[in-house]
Amino acid sequence: MSVSTSSGGYVRRLGMRDAALVVMGGIIGGGIFLNPGIAAQRTGSGLALLSVWIGAGVLTLLGALCYAELGARRPQAGGSYIYLREAFGPLAGFLFGWTMLLVIYSGSTAAVATIFASYAAAVFGLPAAATTPLAVGALVFVAGINLRGLRLGVPVHNLFTVLKLLAVATLVVCGLFFAGAGAPVLAADPAHADAGFMGAALPVLFAYSGFTYLNNLAGEVREPQRTLPRALLLGMFGVIAAYALVNVAYLAVLGHAGLAASHTPAADVMQRVAGGTGAKLIAIGIAVSTLGFCNITLVAGARVLQVMGEDGLFFGVVGRLHPRHRTPNIALLLLAGWASVLALSGSYGQLLDYATFGDWLACAIGVATLFLYRRRDLAEPGYRVPGYPLTPLLFIATVALVVVQSLRDSPYNTGMGVLIMLTGVPVYWCWRRLFSATRS
């Protein structure tokens, strides 16, 4: 494997296959195995449900197209933090990093690690009390793997992603071909005839979160101007196809009403197809999928914290790279440690509810920086988003609609999410005053 060193000190080890698997592994976690039931409760038919999943996939693809150009323009570690800092100033970058550390990356990692622990405990017949220690142990495990750099971390992540894709394929094949007489996939569900459409957007969009993770690792991608756009497109098409097929399998086996009543649709499908053995197999698949998600989330988030530390917007020690492995080990341990605290406290779920919309809001603001880059940065990035300016405008407008709907449907949770972000403003000013005093 040929490698080179980026301007930030990272080693460029990620090729096309590795980068595409980062995209897919960063998106596919536990959401597709759990959230379709919630989305079904908020739609009135199989057709509406599939429309939400495919529509959210297309929306995510539009965002990925925009992030492909942003990554080509700034092929360095940090992703959205870099774009927001350069476009709107250090406060905007700090608020992104603050929210990412406090709830978005850490909360989602803690939540998904707990999902992993729940399924792992079920597979091995462990008591419920083992769930929290297992979740923390999973976070320690994936953090430890990546302390020695991508030379070890990449093969492990690729293995996780291939195994989770195998679990998805098994679920689809069993649901569509081995479940016997199928239910009408697109049929209306009278029990949920009054369900809205936009209410299903948040749980579905959560399942698509993570498409920006590759940009956080841009400093470790080989030939980034060529590799980043292709990997984002390839990964997104793969995820959209996988999600659509899995939902068709759910509907074919359970029907819309059965899916809406199910809290564990993947296990219910496999239970019908292969009994207890099938349910255990998919439980193993979900455990692997969630562990892989935790792996890439910690890796991607650590790069943001490292760049913030390097910029003086966080502790300087966090900005250091390991002299041999060229990895942000202190940032990685910090993020894993805070996620472990959330897992131990049990508060991650509530924090995740507060911040789910904030993740997409940050994505929309990140896409908005593209307009400023087009005006200020006249260099040829090697890739330009097709359909500009309509593509970024459509993405931003749709996310804004979802955020407004969230404010109407869940004013408390959404308001708390805004409050968590805004608490970063006084923290930022206090930090700058202390930092300036230290430097003077």
Half-sphere exposure of 406 (CA within 13 A, CB side): 24
Which tops the pLDDT comparison, 431 or 347? 431
Both tokens assigned to 354: 């507060």
Mean pLDDT score across all residues of the chain: 87
How large is the average pLDDT for residues 283-302?
91
How large is the average pLDDT for residues 274-293?
88
Half-sphere exposure of 80 (CA within 13 A, CB side): 27
- CB-based contacts of 115, cutoff 8 Å, min separation 6: 29, 30, 34, 286, 290
Residue 87 near residue 289, CB atoms below 8 Å: no
pLDDT on residue 86: 94
How large is the average pLDDT for residues 88-109?
91
- CB-based contacts of 98, cutoff 8 Å, min separation 6: 421, 423, 424, 427, 428
pTM listed for this prediction: 0.90
pLDDT on residue 18: 93
How large is the average pLDDT for residues 13-17?
91
How large is the average pLDDT for residues 172-183?
75
Query: Alpha-carbon distance 9 to 2, whole Å?
Result: 16
Residue 195 has pLDDT above 80, yes or no: no
pLDDT grade for 308, boundaries at 50, 70 and 90: very high
How large is the average pLDDT for residues 127-133?
90
Residue 5 has pLDDT above 60, yes or no: no
pLDDT on residue 353: 67
How large is the average pLDDT for residues 276-286?
87
Angle at 3 between CA 323 and CA 153, to 5 degrees: 65
Residue 1 has pLDDT above 50, yes or no: no
Of the ranges 2-11, 204-213, 239-248, the best mean pLDDT one: 239-248
pLDDT grade for 180, boundaries at 50, 70 and 90: low
Number of Cβ within 10 Å of residue 169's Cβ equals: 14
pLDDT grade for 352, boundaries at 50, 70 and 90: low
Query: Alpha-carbon distance 19 to 374, whole Å?
Result: 25
pLDDT on residue 197: 60
Tell me the β-bridge partners of 221: 14
Both tokens assigned to 338: 């805070």
Query: Alpha-carbon distance 331 to 305, whole Å?
Result: 6
